[in-house]
Structure 1
Amino acid sequence: MQLVKRSYAGFMHAIASLAPLEKLTAEARDSDAYGWRRWAASLLAIHDIERMIDLGLPWWNVAATREIEAYLRAHPNARVFEYGAGASTAWLAHRAGSVVSVEHHAEWHRLLMTKVGGLGNTRLLHREFDNDAYVGAIAEAEGSFDLIVIDGRLRTDCLDRALPHLKRGGIVLFDDSGRRRYRKAIEDCGLTETRHYGRSYCVPYPDHTSLLHD
């Protein structure tokens, strides 16, 4: 499966520079973020952090993204904690009061620092995921959060550790929530799940993102 995904991503990167598709991407930047044109352009940006940031998109389910944007619009000073950094980090930084994101991959962390390190409201941590430093980074960040994003490694452990740090009325975004290995932790966490399934950025197939709330 990983070989298929890498081959798919390589193919999309190869054709993204073709003139008609470059035109699509250029036009998509100013189109509806939740419309088909922006979504189609995101397919060309899979695993391409620069293209994704340029498009202004996170790699989540489209409907879940719309719901989170509405939530952040209603909470403009929201504190956000994110497990697993990426284009979503930049997307969140432009909509939230502050963002703390933890990333386990050192090379990816260095690349992201060049993309989001200059944003004054964003703190990007690097912590190894094979010990408590990664899962426990949310305690290191201190305080409680309006939004907690779980989109990295050790997701069930992260969910368990995150819950005491979620503000009343806050939301946990749990990406790829349809995977069997995550279901029990989500169902037993004590929060209500709104499970979005369908069109998702970067991939040509429907996928899941769940929003957990009280």
Structure 2
Amino acid sequence: MSQLKRLYVAGVRAVRPVAASVGLLSALEKQGPGSRGARWARSLFAIYDIDQMTRLDLAWWTLDALDKVDGFLKQRPNARAFEYGSGASSVWLAKRVAELTSVEHDGSWADVVAAKLRDFPNATLKFRPADDTPHADRRYASEKPGWVGRTFHSYVHAIDETEGSFDLIVVDGRARGACLDVARNRLAPGGMIVFDNSRRPRYRAAIAASGLRAETTGGLTACLPYPDETTLLRHGGT
């Protein structure tokens, strides 16, 4: 996390007890999910806090994407989902799908998320760290600060360990371009891929090359004080 982000998160966490004591947080929550501005404002106090995020029933996507994916899954009560990159979204998905498989590259974070998923027998979390030996194919390399030069072949291909197709696949972790390339071949007819933070230049080429129909949602994003993008991808004509 950059120094600026650290300062912002520390500031929010310092203010949160005060906001709670004066009734601001409860007032925002009483507005309900139908009040988008209140929903977003309340989420700002939950940044990098999985306990708060799961209590608020949020995933860290744009609010438009959250609503669209929620509606998509309500029409598919037996949906199977695969998720690259675990977190509050894992709990959010586990509440809405019949079967969830999530893969995580960070061991300490995997332990935190696994504890949150103990009450969901329909959810499986797999830990797949960076490759011990860097893979020769640089498509598997990460460009995220702190992980530059590390490759994630095992992580990307964790989806191959589960048979069948998936109604929903979330791409929100390491080596996202490679994840998308593999995921698009595992998507069920009428299925959807959720590609988060799609405004980042390093992801745009992968999305454009996927051959999938893209619907980009932007604007208010859970926990973020600035707008972001989440792109929803489907096979053409579905």
Q: TM-score range by the shorter chain?
A: over 0.9
Map of 1:54 onto structure 2: 55
* Contact 2:19–2:25 (CA under 8 A) maintained in structure 1: no
2:4 is equivalent to residue 11 of structure 1: no
Q: Which residue of 2 aligns with 1:200?
A: 221
Give the letter aligned to residue 153 of structure 1.
Answer: R
Equivalent residues of 2:63, 2:221 under 8 A apart: yes
User: Is 2:99 aligned against 1:98?
Assistant: yes
Q: How many residues align?
A: 214
Residue matched to 1:168: 189
**Normalised TM-score (structure 2):** 0.86
Question: Aligned equivalents of 2:22 and 2:129: distance in 1?
Answer: 37
Amino acid at match of 1:64: A
Structure 1 residues 34, 177: CA separation in 2 closer, same or farther (over 3 Å shift)? farther
Say if 2:152 and 2:175, in contact at 8 Å, map to a contact too: no
- Alpha-carbon separation, structure 2, partners of 1:98 and 1:109: 18
Alignment pair present for 1:142 and 2:143: no
Structure 1 residue runs of 5 or longer lacking an equivalent are none
Tell me: CA distance 1:43–1:22, structure 2 relative to 1, closer, same or farther (3 Å): farther
Give the deviation of 1:29 after TM superposition: 4.3
SS at structure 2 position matched to 1:50: helix
Which residue of the partner structure matches residue 2 of structure 1?
2
RMSD: 1.6
Q: Which runs of structure 2 are paired with 1:1-214 in the superposition (5 Å)?
A: 2-20=2-20, 23-29=23-29, 31-32=32-33, 35-129=36-130, 130-214=151-235
Partner amino acid, structure 1, of 2:2: Q
Larger Rg: 2
Aligned with 1:136: secondary structure? helix
- Distance in 1, matches of 2:167 and 2:158, equals 16
Conserved in 2, the CA contact under 8 Å of 1:16 and 1:22?
A: no
How far, CA to CA, are the matches of 1:24 and 1:142 in structure 2?
47
Q: 1:17 to 1:113 in 2, by over 3 A?
A: same
Query: What is the Cα deviation at residue 200 of structure 1?
Result: 0.5
Conserved in 2, the CA contact under 8 Å of 1:33 and 1:57?
no
Assess, with a 3 A threshold, how the Cα gap between structure 1 residues 28 and 87 changes in structure 2: closer, same or farther: farther
**Corresponding residue SS for 2:23:** helix
* One-letter amino acid of the structure 2 residue matched with residue 9 of structure 1: V
Distance 1:180 1:38, change over 3 A: same
- Cα distance per residue 1:58-101 (max 9 Å; x no partner): 00001011000000000111000000000000001111111110
Going from structure 1 to structure 2, the CA distance change for 1:21 and 1:89 (only over 3 Å counts) comes to farther
Please state how far the C-alpha of 1:14 moved relative to its aligned partner.
1.3
User: In the alignment, is the contact (CA less than 8 A) between 1:29 and 1:54 conserved in 2?
Assistant: no
CA displacement, residues 86-126 of structure 1 (integer Å, 9 cap, x when unaligned)? 00000011111111100100000001111112311100111
Alpha carbons of 1:15 and 1:117: their partners in 2 closer, same or farther (altered >3 Å)? same
AA aligned opposite 1:14 = A
Deviates more, 1:29-38 or 1:81-90: 29-38
Identical columns (%): 43
Flag structure 2 segments of 5+ consecutive residues without an equivalent: 131-150
> Structure 1 residues 3, 97: CA separation in 2 closer, same or farther (over 3 Å shift)?
same
Pair 1:137–1:69, CA change in 2 (3 A): same
Moved more, 44-53 or 9-18: 9-18
